[in-house]
């Protein structure tokens, strides 16, 4: 490539709650009703997939009502439970990768 490319990712290190609060500070909350996150691609959003769960938690943490519609809107307790399950799933995947690496290293 003969040109440098600069990729700007201003929200990369922001949590969902921080992003929502920033939108509020910039008077941009009205635009969030035009955003969509659902992995199922549903409209209204499903409210059950990991993307919906993480988005909803961000709004709960920011103390701001999510302006989009959901097929199912889980309670904060349900959201926290799903987040815990997702972390457990991630932990299980990481553990399997470590075990795999350990087995491979043992044969060298
Ligand atoms: Zn969804």
pLDDT for 9-46, tens place per residue?
A: 988 999 999 999 999 999 999 999 999 889 999 999 99
For residue 78, CA distances in Å to 3, 11, 42, 47, 84 come to 48, 26, 20, 11, 10
pLDDT at residue 36, as a whole number: 86
Q: How far apart are the first and last CA of the chain?
A: 39
Q: Kindly report, residue by residue over 54-106, the tens digit of the pLDDT.
A: 999 999 999 999 999 999 999 999 999 999 999 999 999 999 999 999 998 88
The predicted structure's pLDDT at residue 105 = 86
User: Rounded mean pLDDT of the chain?
Assistant: 93
Report how far ligand 1's centroid is from the alpha carbon of 45 (Å): 5
- Residue 108 pLDDT more than 70? no
Question: What spacing in Å lies between the alpha carbon of 63 and ligand 1's midpoint?
Answer: 20
Ligand 1 center from residue 73 Cα (angstroms): 10
Give the global pTM. 0.79
Nearest to 16 by CA among 88, 84, 83: 83
Q: How far apart are CA 37 and CA 56, in angstroms?
A: 10
Compute the distance from residue 9 Cα to the ligand 1 centre, in Å.
24
The alpha-carbon radius of gyration of the chain (Å, integer) is 19
If you measure from the C-alpha of residue 50 to the centroid of ligand 1, how many angstroms do you get, rounded to a whole number? 7
């Amino acid at each position: 490539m003969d040109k440098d490319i600069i990729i700007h990712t201003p929200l990369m290190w922001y949590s969902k709650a921080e992003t929502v609060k920033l939108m509020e500070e910039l008077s941009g909350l009205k635009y969030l009703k035009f955003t969509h996150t659902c992995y199922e691609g549903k409209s209204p959003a499903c409210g059950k997939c990991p993307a919906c769960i993480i988005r909803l938690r961000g709004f709960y943490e920011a103390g701001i009502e999510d302006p989009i519609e959901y097929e199912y809107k889980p309670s904060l307790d349900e959201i926290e439970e799903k987040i815990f399950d997702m972390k457990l799933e991630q932990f299980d995947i990481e553990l399997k990768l470590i075990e795999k690496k350990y087995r491979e290293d043992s044969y060298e």
